[in-house]
Amino acid sequence: MNSTTVKESEKTCVLCCQDIDIFALGKCDHPVCYRCSTKMRVLCDQKYCAVCREELDKVVFVKKLKTFQSLPYQQFPFEKRYDIYFIDEMTHSQYRRLLLSECVRCPEPKVFSRFEELEQHMRKQHELFCCKLCSKHLKIFSYERKWYNRKELARHRAHGDPDDTSHRGHPLCKFCDERYLDNDELLKHLRRDHYFCHFCDADGSQEYYSDYRYLSEHFRESHYLCEEGRCATEQFTHAFRSEIDYKAHKAAAHSKNRAEARQNRHIDLQFNYAPRQQRRNDGMVGGEDYEETRHNRGGRGRLQMGQKSWRYSRLAIIQKRAPLVILKPSRL
């Protein structure tokens, strides 16, 4: 990298796509703007390069792009907690200004030490509110926060903002009547705090139930639910996907004697045989239709002049429906 010239592509931040007025530079020499670097290191606690993912133990904020090795950063003012060095005091001042919680609605801007104080001021003095979900999950600066009146806040939570088509509101959990940041957060909540059928979930169906009472009704209607003895008070372990598993459980856990165990192990099986297609083409040999043809060849078994070839066909016996079969275990 030339220390005196800056490429056109390096004048634009690769993260926010805005022109860079102050460069943030690490040992890998991949520049980003100081705003994005501050968000990563201060708000998100991420100290790697946004371009190559190399861990950056130090970054330097400079106004003119140079190589990291050519900067005597040990002599610069710095923030020890975040390992950020500044080319001069003016750059350091602009960095601190990013982190201020400032009210821009007042005639004379007021600065607060914490965002909670700014939030309280906006609510009492201006009757404006910020979205609790956005302020909790979105790592952005205070001046980037949006403030709403009561009607606008309700619309933001339910449907999103008119000037931001990427946000369609915060999804609602119909069981708890609470909203979550996005669909991913809602899904985490449903799987953590509510119930779902592990059989249907393995098959790709995502249905959730407010409590176990409704889930047990699903087990009873769509699967096999054991409600004998201790199983009546247990959860999940007494539901079965197939009748075979259900009867095996009953035989093992709820049989009082051997006779009852044998009865619980009885499974009625029903077989249907599809008709086999007969193939009667000459020269073809198959399991369904065996044909043997002797052609006019020399040697033993040669046909005499004018004598016809002989053919043996075995007709398949088609049984469309077999009788009911009951499998019984052998006596112990």
DSSP assignment of 71-106 equals --GGGS-EETTTTEEESSHHHHHHHHHHT-EEESSS
**Tokens 């708000």 belong to residue:** 43
The CA radius of gyration of the chain, in Å to the nearest whole number, is 39
CA dist., res. 231 & res. 39, Å (int)? 54
Residue 320 has pLDDT above 60, yes or no: no
CA dist., res. 84 & res. 26, Å (int)? 10
Q: What percent of the chain has pLDDT over 70?
A: 74
pTM of the full structure: 0.66
**Per-residue pLDDT reduced to its tens digit, 213-262:** 999 999 999 999 998 888 888 888 889 998 888 888 888 877 666 665 56
Query: Domain 8-98 belongs to what architecture?
Result: 2-Layer Sandwich (3.30)
What are the start and end residues of each CATH 3.30.40.10 domain in the chain? 8-98
**Per-residue pLDDT reduced to its tens digit, 69-121:** 999 999 999 999 999 999 999 999 999 999 999 998 898 888 998 999 999 99
Q: What is the rounded average pLDDT of the residues 6-17?
A: 77
Residue 192 has pLDDT above 90, yes or no: yes
Residues sharing a CB contact under 8 Å with residue 66, sequence separation 6 or more, in sequence order: 1, 3, 25
